[in-house]
Amino acid sequence: MRNRLKVLRAERNWSQADLADKLDVSRQSVNAIETGKYDPSLPLAFRIAKVFALPIEQIFSDDEVAQAAE
């Protein structure tokens, strides 16, 4: 699964620690999600969407769908 977490975070000038704070997870978790090493659970994905005030599909996308779009 791909995500735009790093870009969205940069747009808001948030550090990984800032985002982790808002999501109530560790900074390592944010880093692992950003680098694609970890796919968040659905409840965490919803929390991420809520923090960025965006629909989930504008943050996360399926690898195959993203490749097809490219």
The answer to whether residues 26 and 41 touch, using CB atoms and an 8 Å cutoff, is no
Q: How many residues bind other proteins (CB under 8 A)?
A: 20
Query: Is-contact 59 4, C-beta < 8 A?
Result: yes
Confirm or reject binding of residue 13 to other proteins (CB under 8 A).
Answer: no
CA distance 14 to 38: 20
Q: How far apart are CA 66 and CA 64, in angstroms?
A: 5
Write the interaction track for other proteins spanning residues 14-53; mark x where CB under 8 A is met and - where it is not: -x-xx-xx-xxxxxxx-xxx---xx-xx--x---------
Interaction between residue 6 and other proteins (CB under 8 A): no
Binding site for other proteins (CB under 8 A): 15, 17-18, 20-21, 23-29, 31-33, 37-38, 40-41, 44
